[in-house]
Structure 1
Amino acid sequence: MRYAGNWMTAVDDRILEYLSEHESGSPTKMKREGPIRYSRQQVHRRCKILAEKGLINDLGNGVYMITEDGEAYLEGRLDTEDWQYIDEETDDDARDGSPGNIATDS
């Protein structure tokens, strides 16, 4: 499950997915080769926003590459609303004496 911030749109996910599958890409290339049903201008605008937010890098000349934060978002490990990484273990797991999380009184 992905944790999209209120600022994100559906095209953002498509852009990130494209860049995750390809090493890099431009809005024109994404529109031509990817499953992106938005105008090149809209893709370009969203790429600028994604770059400002740190989910992709602007390599210059209209070419972009996904960042580690972008990959983490796609994998459901980053909440882009409050920029918090999602831990797979909750605090309750650490306190309940689950195997590997034995609670001890000191």
Structure 2
Amino acid sequence: MTLWDDRILELVREIGAGSPKMIEDTGLVRVSRQHISRRLNRLANYDLLTPLSNGIYTLTDEGTAYLQGDYDAEAGEFVEDMDEKKWRLPSETSSPL
């Protein structure tokens, strides 16, 4: 994940849906439209965005959780709350033999 990925996700969240042109036109992501297009595709591969027709993408539940720090896109899993994990009983965390 890159700095631009986070910014692209934030913009898609703010505007509700985004295409490479829409994101480029904001002037807030200072890379080429082609680069934005590649990153949108990569973010969809991580299940953070859903591609719609005509190159438009929307944020998924995983994308929203990622922006909140509750989803690890590279691992493809939700991040467990450390406080919750700390207070679990040993029998809840160990697997049966």
Match of 1:63 among 43, 51, 56: 56
Match of 1:92 among 80, 86, 93: 86
2:22 aligned with 1:29: yes
Query: What are the Cα deviations for residues 24-83 of structure 1, in whole angstroms up to 9, with x where unaligned?
Result: 111111011151111111000111111122110110101111111000000000012212
1:50 corresponds in structure 2 to: 43
Could you list the runs of 4 or more consecutive aligned residues of structure 1 that deviate by over 3 angstroms after TM superposition? none
Amino acid at match of 1:93: W
Does the residue aligned with 1:61 lie in a helix, a strand or coil?
Answer: helix
2:77 and 2:55 mapped to 1: Cα distance? Answer: 29
Q: Is the 8 A contact 2:12 2:59 kept in 1?
A: yes
Query: Which structure shows the bigger proportion of residues in helix conformation?
Result: 2
Q: Percent identity?
A: 39
1:10 and 1:20 mapped to 2: Cα distance? Answer: 16
Match of 1:81 among 54, 58, 74: 74
TM-score normalised to structure 2 length? 0.82
Unaligned runs of 5+ in 1: 1-7, 96-106
Higher relative contact order, chain-length normalized (CA < 8 Å, sep 6+): 1
Does the residue aligned with 2:28 lie in a helix, a strand or coil?
Answer: coil
- Count, aligned residues: 88
